[in-house]
Structure 1
Amino acid sequence: MPGPSVNKQKSRQKHRANKAKRVNKEAEEEAKKVERVELVEIPPNESTTSGQTTESVSDAARPIQLSAPEYVSVIPAPPPSQPFLLDPGNGARVLDMMQFLESPFADPVCETDERCVDFASPEVFPILQQVLPFQVALILWYNVTRKSSRICPSCRRTYRLGDHLPPHLPDMRTSPDSKDHLLPQTALEQRLSGICSWMCFALASYRYPGSIAAWGNSNMTMPEELIEYMNGPGDPSVTDDESLGQLLRMTRNEESLGIDDLRAQQHMAFLVPNTDAVYVSEQAKGEPEEDEARGRTRRRQSF
């Protein structure tokens, strides 16, 4: 006959078996509860009652299929391949004009200024692109079609007319040159060409080193000798100025940039597509003026 120890062993085994069955049964009941909860559907716009909100309901109780109007994609647009603005510490520089123009940092064309509206005409930029590199042509077009926003063609710094711009070099803060922004030529040149400082003007006049006196002056305030000099070819050995010398010459003519003949040619070619371009250009120039004053005005506009 089995002893007491054997009975104790059988009793323990039976107890463990019963406990395992009880645990399994509880697990099955919990699983059934979860299944029943997952089948509960809550309408997307269910109103709240007695101060309770749908946010207090467990996420497991929400329906699997969500209504489309309540869920809008917020995936951001991919960032540009490279930054188009860079601030070295003394003002943001524009690295890519196309990306800048498409960004919220660019001002729209000023529609309340007649000059800005005139230069925003569709035939102007193609003409600028014929005589200037693409990025420089965009900068010039931007400057003449905005009332106060400017981009310096030399250093590509973006600013607004009237801004106090920090000097380009840190050691210039204690030098007399740091007060260039107080000189009237600085503000006049910023309005004419967008060139932001005396240093940038000197860089732009690299091809025309004798044109330093043109800083802050239009063709109506420049001496006759300087006009004749800037109407010339400049230093033929300079070929790497990115056409800043050409931009400098064009912006001396504040009213037309010196492209009136080209604009008339574009306009006549649009009206009469088969018209010879040279003939149209000669017609746009008109008869030679005999009056000395009118001849002086024509020379001033011959940039």
Structure 2
Amino acid sequence: MPSYVSASPVGFHVKDLRDFLDAHPTHISLDPERRTWATEEACLELSNMFPDDTAGEILCNLFLYNKTRDVNRICPSCRRVYRVGEAPQAYESFEAFLARDDDRVPKVNSATREEQDLSGICSGLCFEALIDGFEYMSAEEINDWAHCHAPYLAGIQEAARQSGYVMRNATAEEWASSGIKLIWEKKQES
């Protein structure tokens, strides 16, 4: 697996945005509305809206990436790479993920799909994390967003249980250096 991504029970997450974009460039949309986000003027305006630090620069670049692509997205909260409409899912390998068939990928509900298209946020969990944040907890303990993702929650919980992963808030240092809000990591053996 390339060093610029990491795997979790819900897919692949970008660790290094520049390296990922260099290795997997996607074309800017031909849609006129999406193309306006790619203008120099829009980029300058946006750069003034985000904090003048590493996390702000990364979030600005993620916002631009998500606004200028038709279906490819990177979640600004957990950095999951996905296409609009895709539900979280584990893959055997990064190569299998890249070669996935859109017709065979689990889909999200229409409200989540709209949010994915609009903001790039991949799930209700990531939306709430950006708004409120979570204390250290496992995926199986996160129940307050079940109404948004009831069909997918059981699958995510089972994948987390079987894989031994937990989701946690990023530390202040992790947030400052990467802009990542939610981190999937292997559960510590007690």
Residues 88, 119 of structure 1: alpha-carbon distance in 2 compared, 3 angstrom cutoff:
same
Aligned to 2:85: 162
Aligned to 2:131: 205
Larger strand share, 1 or 2: 2
Conserved? CA contact 1:91–1:166, under 8 Å: yes
List alignment gaps of at least 5 residues for structure 2: 51-55, 91-105, 134-144, 149-171, 177-190
Aligned to 2:20: 100
What is the Cα deviation at residue 182 of structure 1? 4.0
Report the AA paired with residue 119 of structure 1: W
Distance in 1 of aligned mates of 2:86 and 2:109: 13
List alignment gaps of at least 5 residues for structure 1: 1-81, 168-179, 216-239, 244-303
Residue 109 (structure 1) aligned with residue 42 (structure 2): no
- Which aligned pairs between 1:73-92 and structure 2 lie closer than 5 A? 83-92=3-12
Distance in 1 of aligned mates of 2:122 and 2:18: 21
Report the AA paired with residue 186 of structure 1: T
Residues 102, 94 of structure 1: alpha-carbon distance in 2 compared, 3 angstrom cutoff:
same
Aligned to 2:45: 127
What is the Cα deviation at residue 149 of structure 1? 0.4
What is the Cα deviation at residue 181 of structure 1? 5.3
Residue 140 (structure 1) aligned with residue 63 (structure 2): yes
Report the AA paired with residue 121 of structure 1: T
Report the AA paired with residue 21 of structure 2: L
* Structure 1 residue matching 2:73: 3-state secondary structure: strand
- 1:250-269 per-residue CA deviation (whole Å, 9 max, x = no partner) reads xxxxxxxxxxxxxxxxxxxx
Sequence identity percentage: 30
Report the AA paired with residue 114 of structure 2: L
Report the AA paired with residue 25 of structure 2: A
What is the Cα deviation at residue 113 of structure 1? 0.3
Distance in 2 of aligned mates of 1:161 and 1:153: 14
- 1:39-72 per-residue CA deviation (whole Å, 9 max, x = no partner) reads xxxxxxxxxxxxxxxxxxxxxxxxxxxxxxxxxx
Conserved? CA contact 1:93–1:158, under 8 Å: yes
Residues 156, 196 of structure 1: alpha-carbon distance in 2 compared, 3 angstrom cutoff:
same
Task: Report which stretch shifted further, 141-150 or 123-132.
Answer: 123-132
Conserved? CA contact 1:181–1:197, under 8 Å: no
**What TM-score comes out, normalization by structure 2 length?**
0.54
Aligned to 1:149: 72
Aligned to 2:111: 185
**What TM-score comes out, normalization by structure 1 length?**
0.35
The structure with the largest alpha-carbon Rg is: 1
Provide the aligned length of Structure 1 versus Structure 2.
118
Aligned to 2:182: none
- 1:189-208 per-residue CA deviation (whole Å, 9 max, x = no partner) reads 0001010011000011128x
